[in-house]
Amino acid sequence: MSTNRLGRVENLDQFWHQTHLKSSESRVDLKIPEEPETVESLDEISEYPYDGQDRYSGTLEFHFTDWQGNSRTEDGEYEYRSESGLFLLQLDSGRVDPEDILETLNQQFGNSGKIKDSISVKREALWSFFEEADQYDTLTLTGPEGRFDFTTLKQVAHRVSHDDIANYNSIEDLELSAEIQEPEKVQDVLPLLNKVDLHGDIESINDLGVDPAKYFIERSEVHFEFRDELVSVTYDRGNLRINDDATQLSREYVTQLFEQKVVYPSYGR
């Protein structure tokens, strides 16, 4: 499957039989299970807050008209988790924007329910989720010092000390251009270097030693290790995607971790 899209909606199970009330040029046909499954917490997720919640999952068909006026159908799968309110969407190809499907579903639900295509969460909660990442490809933060990339800061911090940066105001002063993958981003991290503890190793954002409430995570590409599998996750301003080739179990791990670290502190039960 090529896409994993996450949204949020409350009490969707109450509206299953109302999806036919609205109609438009496009429509989504959901195969609704007669009985939901029960979500059981994984051993790796301690004190999972939604243990025992109902999970409704099935296939879907998205019927739409393409730019040439031809009728098309996109197949996929969906999952709705009743207590956390998460709605996950997986498509068989990348021909259709997942947001088009969510928009069509919302039109079909009418005023009964709405799937949010991105979710608003507490900064500290999102921070705690990304603290658990095992590898960082990129992670863009905005805070009092401006906008900067954590991976760039990590590269610079591994090469300098507080004594090195005491009197330096530019990347040219630090003479790091040849050692950094994206030297144009180094200038952005210089204002933060004096606030970061450079005496220890900086591997995760938790090692920065700054107040998470003051920093907004805009975008990230990270990896979580689960039972010898490395799961790639992309986050972009409230939108979360899990990589295409993740196994069902590793996908469940990331979902439960996100529910525990982000959804529960932000929304409760």
Q: What is the pLDDT of residues 135-192, one digit of tens each?
A: 999 999 998 888 888 888 887 777 776 666 655 555 555 555 556 666 666 777 777 7
Backbone angles phi, psi at 2, to 5 degrees: -100, -15
Q: What is the per-residue pLDDT across 176-186, written as a single tens digit (0 to 9) for each?
A: 555 666 666 67
pLDDT bucket at 32, cuts 50 / 70 / 90: confident
Check pLDDT > 90 for residue 125. yes
CB of 58 closer than 8 Å to CB of 74:
no
Q: Residue written as tokens 């896409």?
A: 3
* Helix (H/G/I), strand (E/B), else coil: 189: helix
Mention every residue, 6+ apart, whose C-beta is less than 8 A from residue 30: 16, 19, 58, 60, 78
Q: Which two tokens stand for residue 134?
A: 């095992």
Mean pLDDT, range 240-260, rounded to an integer: 92
Identity of the residue numbered 36 = P
Contact 217, 130 (CB under 8 A): yes
261 has a pLDDT exceeding 60 = yes
Percent of the chain with pLDDT over 90: 32
Please, which residues have CB within 8 angstroms of residue 182's CB and are 6 or more apart in sequence? 149, 152
The pLDDT confidence band at residue 18, using thresholds 50, 70 and 90, is very low
Strands 54-65 and 71-81, by their bridges, are antiparallel
What b/e sequence results for 24-35 when a residue is b if at least 16 CB atoms lie within 10 Å of its CB, and e otherwise?
eebbbebebeee
Confidence category of residue 39, pLDDT binned at 50, 70, 90:
very high
Residue 22 pLDDT: 39
pLDDT at 111 over 80: no
Question: What gap in Å lies between CA 101 and CA 115, rounded to an integer?
Answer: 10
d(CA 157, CA 108): 51
pLDDT per position as a tens digit, 215-226: 899 999 999 999
Maximum average pLDDT range among 40-54, 67-81, 111-125, 141-155 = 40-54
Helix (H) or strand (E) run with residue 162 in it = helix 162-165
What does the radius of gyration of the chain's CA atoms come to, in whole angstroms?
21
Domain boundaries, the chain: 3-109, 123-237
Q: When comparing pLDDT for 155 and 123, which is higher?
A: 123
As a whole number, the mean pLDDT across the chain is 80
Does 3 score more than 80 pLDDT?
Answer: no
Q: Using 50, 70 and 90 to split pLDDT, how confident is the model at 17?
A: very low
N-term to C-term CA, the chain = 30
Residue 46, helix vs strand vs coil = coil
Mean pLDDT on 125-132: 94
pLDDT tens profile 85-107:
888 888 877 777 788 888 888 88
How far is C-alpha 108 from the chain's CA centre?
A: 26
Residue whose entry in the numeric block shows the structure tokens 């051993």: 43
